[in-house]
Amino acid sequence: MGSPTSPTVAPPAEPAGISRLRGRHLVASLALISLITIFALDAYAGGDSKGGPLVSTPFWLPYLFVILRLRGKKPKSGLALAVAMSFAMFLPAVWLVHYARSWDADWLTQAGLILVTAVQPILAVAAILAWRSLPANKGQWRTIIANAAYAVIALIILTSFLWDAPNRIAEDERSAIWLLQTIQKAASSYSTQFGVYPAHLTALNASPGDGKANCSAASLLTLAVSASDPDGFESRGWGGGYIFEYEPGPSLASSGDCVGTKTYRLRARPKIFGKTGRRSFLVDESGALRSTSENQPPTQATLTVDRVK
């Protein structure tokens, strides 16, 4: 006769109240991460804009409401708002991550946007599970509809902001055209003053200190050129991304004490073709500005593709 076996004792189930509390804490923590990250991103990346972090108030403030409602007597209202905001923010956040990468935003901005994007689906799932753990009550559909309406309004506002966001390539090309025309006007002024065009772009810059303008330092422009590379520079930042190259004419000319050239060509080509620009540009002493969509340095042979007026 076999010995009786001891009955298996199941571990005590976690009280429902504690489980619900943990679910709310998780939702509150995810909402806090979203709030802090959105606020910090606006303060860091948009610090020069008018209003600063106040501009992003419609997007981080709802997460504060989520936290306050979860701590108060309206946990279902907070959970409904958490779900609504996570759905409203996810796709715009994905778009912003792509946008930041296309603009070569710094790693801190990209990391913050990726964090906000990753948190939203987790927040939605956690809030839905926490909602289901709570007993049903009257008027909960009104709560869902009211919070969904707020999220839709926030989504419309955010979409309107994103709609007006600048196009990287268009901004880069406009910036390159403006800078080419600016340099061309400075070179024309140089020719009027000294009788020749500059032999190098460095001649357009100011002289060190308070020296008087001369044909070696005409004080007509401030360009990012150096003595080690007097005929080339790279524009940087938003609206940048182009490499500029100055080519003086084949023979030098002199006028008084100044040595320069009678002709020149100034080229601008994208640093990364297809990403920072789709066109290369060329301007010469005549002031005619032309472009080509071919992925090569612009020459007279390739300038029949486009013409910039």
Query: Which pLDDT band holds residue 5 (cuts at 50, 70, 90)?
Result: low
The pTM is what? Answer: 0.57
Reading the block at residue 152, the tokens are 């839709």
Model pLDDT, residue 209: 65
* Per-residue pLDDT at 211 exceeds 80: no
Count Cα neighbours of 249 within 13 Å in the Cβ-side half-sphere.
Answer: 16
d(CA 163, CA 9): 61
Which segment, 36-45, 86-95, 164-173, is predicted with the most confidence on average? 86-95
- Compute the mean pLDDT over every residue in the chain, rounded to the nearest whole number: 82
Helix axes 140-163, 57-71, angle to 10 degrees: 160
The domain ranges of the chain are 16-163, 168-307
Angle 30-143-138 (CA atoms, 0-180°, nearest 5)? 125
> How far does Cα 104 stand from its chain's mean position?
7
Helix axes 57-71, 16-45, angle to 10 degrees: 160
Reading the block at residue 141, the tokens are 């559909």
* Cα separation of the two ends of the chain: 105
* Residue among 6, 58, 74, 70 at smallest CA distance from 32: 70
Model pLDDT, residue 306: 46
Model pLDDT, residue 72: 83
Model pLDDT, residue 116: 95
